[in-house]
Amino acid sequence: MSSTQKLLAGCAAWALLASAGAASAMDKEWPIYGGNYANWHYSTLTQINKDNVKRLSFAWARSLGNAFSQETTPLVIGDTLFVTSANGPQYVMALDAATGAIRWKVELEMPAGVQQYACCGVVNRGVAYSDGMIYVGRLDGAISAFDAKTGEEKWTTEIVDYKQGSVITSPPLVVKDLVISGFGGGEYGARGYIVALDKKTGKERWKTWTVPGPGEPGNESWKGDSWKYGGGTVWLVGSYDPERNLAYFGTSNPAPWAAHVRGPNTSDYGPFTNKWTAATIAINPDNGAIVWGFQGTPHDAWDYDGVNELVLVDIDVTGDGRPDPVGLKADRNGFFFVLDRITGKALKADPFVYTNWAKGFDLAAQRPIEDPAKRPGLKKRAVDICPNLIGGKNWMPMAWSPDTKLVYIPANNLCMDMEDSEVEYKRGSFYLGKDFPTKPGPGGYLGELIAWDPVAGKKVWSIKEKWPFNGGVLATAGGLVFAGNYAGEFRAIDAKTGEILWKKQLGSGIHAAPATYEAGGKQYVVVAVGRSETIPGFLGEIGRQMIEAQPTGGMLFAFAIE
């Protein structure tokens, strides 16, 4: 069976795995960004386990070619590891998975000045793979396809003009014969859409706007012509349910951040919900039709960007003794949502971090119960809003373990003040209209790794972190959770208890999610290292301290039991 056949067969079977307690990752490989189409970030491998992880040792390292923030999670197909770097220059590399030796290396040539259109870092989170081809999103708004064996470029297709402030930083979702991708730019007033390309030729097959125009359902949710520059971009990874043939994507903040441009200045915003921004949408990948949408933050006034991943599991949420097909989302707005992935209805909504902008979530009305005092406006300064605009959880992926039935969330503990200002759209420039000083959250810590029970809606254990914006998470059948933090510590943690069993200082902040695989009969855990400067720039004095606390990085490290 080929690698692609295994990927498709494994992903088609994942829906049965949560109830059966079976594996989710594809055999010995790591064939897709989240480990499987359901975005579990989980591996069945057990050679490295909680009994022997103290013997985990350095195996090999590879420079990623620059010292910018590194957010890539490698793929492993057969005995080859595929990894990307941040731009400056930006590389795609194929490495020997057992040694880190370079098999081929391609530099993605970028136009001069492209960096100014990348809101939140000149980063890249990795590639997608299908049928012997590697697909990568580019800062210049294009998708490129390469031969996985040789690195030969097969096609490059522009899907958006980067000069409007739209770059691509995440891998596309490959479903059937389609390569599906969105782009960034919510901070620049880009109007979001998703594009599907033919995976062999790169030709466009369909295009779907996430912010509806005149005559499209939901356009009435926008004040005047504010939809034209409405944000709602899709810049993070998607999930896919093959049984129901639905692909799931999160959409970004509406633009501008100043909500008075898009509707009333109060929490009584009436119909002006600004569909489909700060939302999760389900689309039919065959034609791009939006099947349903769920807005966690209607008429968003806080930059509670809704792009965070939807993790697809089958668990008994309704209490009838049967597994329910749901999607799990730790939203930036501080709520952990359990969504019916067939209808999009929220079945549960529980705050997973300290959250006060809303007093709760009304499941009957399917909308948050806002605290009017926490909604900023023109000449109205809202104070001590929690969470901060980087969110209760940012883009860094959480992990689901079918063994513990827990999700592991890299969370933040920050708050803010916020006030609107007048703002005008200028193509290729920030379109914000906000003042947003950062404050620490309660408790004296700024980040937290949380083990969360999605059925009970409660925290099981947590590890407090000195800094926010910590790394993504990997769970394994060996009873372990792997996670790095901004302080540069890479750790193996007991998945049931939260005890740190092993740690290693890697010299720079860690944001990327780790991956694990087997090569030459040995299991490896691999993680990219390189701390961010861009996001801390949004956090004032706290951000300045974060940058000073760690040097830049730019490495890929692999570990194994020796």
Active site residues: 303
Measuring CA to CA, which residue among 60, 23, 27 is closest to residue 475?
A: 23
- Which is it for strands 80-84 and 75-77: parallel, antiparallel or unpaired? antiparallel
Strand partners, 542: none
Tokens at 109, concatenated: 């040539």
Residue type, 23: A
Tokens at 295, concatenated: 């807005």
Q: Is the peptide bond prior to 351 cis by the omega test (within 30 degrees of 0)?
A: no
Cα separation values, 345 from 85, 293, 348, 353, 456, Å:
38, 9, 9, 22, 18
Distance, in Å, from the CA atom of 94 to the CA atom of 102, rounded to the nearest integer, reads 6
- Residue with token string 């830049």: 552
Residue type, 309: E
Distance, in Å, from the CA atom of 268 to the CA atom of 279, rounded to the nearest integer, reads 19
3-state secondary structure of 516: strand
Strand partners, 518: 523
Burial call 176-208: b when 16+ CB within 10 Å, e when fewer: eebbbbbbbbbbbbbbbbbbbbebeebeebbeb
Helix (H) or strand (E) holding 540, with range, is helix 540-549
Distance, in Å, from the CA atom of 233 to the CA atom of 119, rounded to the nearest integer, reads 13
Residue type, 522: K
Cα separation values, 257 from 231, 304, 328, 488, Å:
9, 10, 26, 32
372: buried, middle or exposed (CB in 10 Å: 19+, 13-18, 0-12)?
A: exposed
